[in-house]
Amino acid sequence: MNCLIKNILFGLLIITCFSCDSKETNSKLTYDVQIEYLSTPINDNRELKIDSIALCFAGNFSSDTTKIYINNELYNVSILTTDEIDGMAGLIFLPSYKTVESIGIRINNGKLIYIEPEKKHYNILLDFVNNKATVRFYRKLPGFM
């Protein structure tokens, strides 16, 4: 009898843990996306000082897996956590901007954030706060370059 009670309690504990994990994971799977193309001046055609695009991550990352796709091919997989001091989670240099037609970013198993930069010679900041991923374009990333 004592063994049966232990097995039941152990089973309930496992079910409770799985239901807590699935709720937490599901909340991370859904996020809104906003792409702000307005920060790219139309008349600025200067080349970047370096050949590659800097992709910066900021916001509320907590051991989140990010997958980056360049021209629909997997380029990088990283686990990001935001630094509490500066709010930055990571900086990844992409290939030459001259070869980048599209960029895809997926946070955990969420929807793909698909970017076709209208100006290829801009760096990108992805700010992930309160289940909203905001993409902005910069000549020089704030605080970095």
For residue 134, the Cα-to-chain-centroid distance in whole angstroms is 10
- Model's pTM, two decimal places? 0.72
Which candidate, 55, 125, 60, 126, places its Cα nearest to that of 87?
A: 60
The residue among 69 and 7 whose pLDDT is bigger is 69
Q: What does the pLDDT read at residue 99?
A: 87
Mean pLDDT value of segment 61-68: 96
Q: How many residues does the chain have?
A: 145
- Render pLDDT for 79-118 as a digit per residue (tens, 0 to 9): 999 999 888 999 999 888 888 889 999 999 999 999 887 6
